A and B are shown apart, each in its own frame.
Chain A
Amino acid sequence: MAARVLIVDHQRNLAEALAYLLRRAGYTVRVAANGADALAAAAAESPDVVLLETSLPDLDGYTLYERLRGEGAGHCGIVVLTANQREAERDKALALGADGYLVKPFDPADLIDRVRVLAAART
């Protein structure tokens, strides 16, 4: 069974391109543009990997992060996608248990590699 990836990002173009690339790489992909959709999708499909933008229109990324961990995605791998490159933010995300931290812009191939490693560990 193909690993499931949930992309949580309100940047429509980026999410669409990433979803296409991940699908082509053999993953089942679901896209959520805000926190509420993300929680609903996580509860319905318990994704293996979540790609999470920390600044969302309706929820603080870290709040969403904690709730995802609590609700149906407790075991999943989470990669933070962010426009914030400060070291302190990276430390915070990793300290809270994120499995990866990617500062935009990133190489999509790099992202797919990380998803592959995280998904393999969980399927």
Chain B
Amino acid sequence: MTLDQLPLGQTARISRLNGSSSVRRRLMEMGLTPAATVQAVRRAPMGDPLDVKVRGYHLSLRKEEAASVEVESAGSGNV
């Protein structure tokens, strides 16, 4: 599963990142590293972008970028 498919409110563990090196680098710098937990919080009113919680703060990213983050579901709950 990728981060854009993670149901809202659910928490998952990041397994790997794909995509171009600059996007991958930025996502990881912002804390979306493998093994980090991430929660899908909400979608913007028009469906895109997403708001996720990672390392205790909120990060907004487009579905396109979220699709390059592979996650393994770890159940519901906050991060």
Do the two chains bind? no
Residues of B within 8 A of A (CB): none
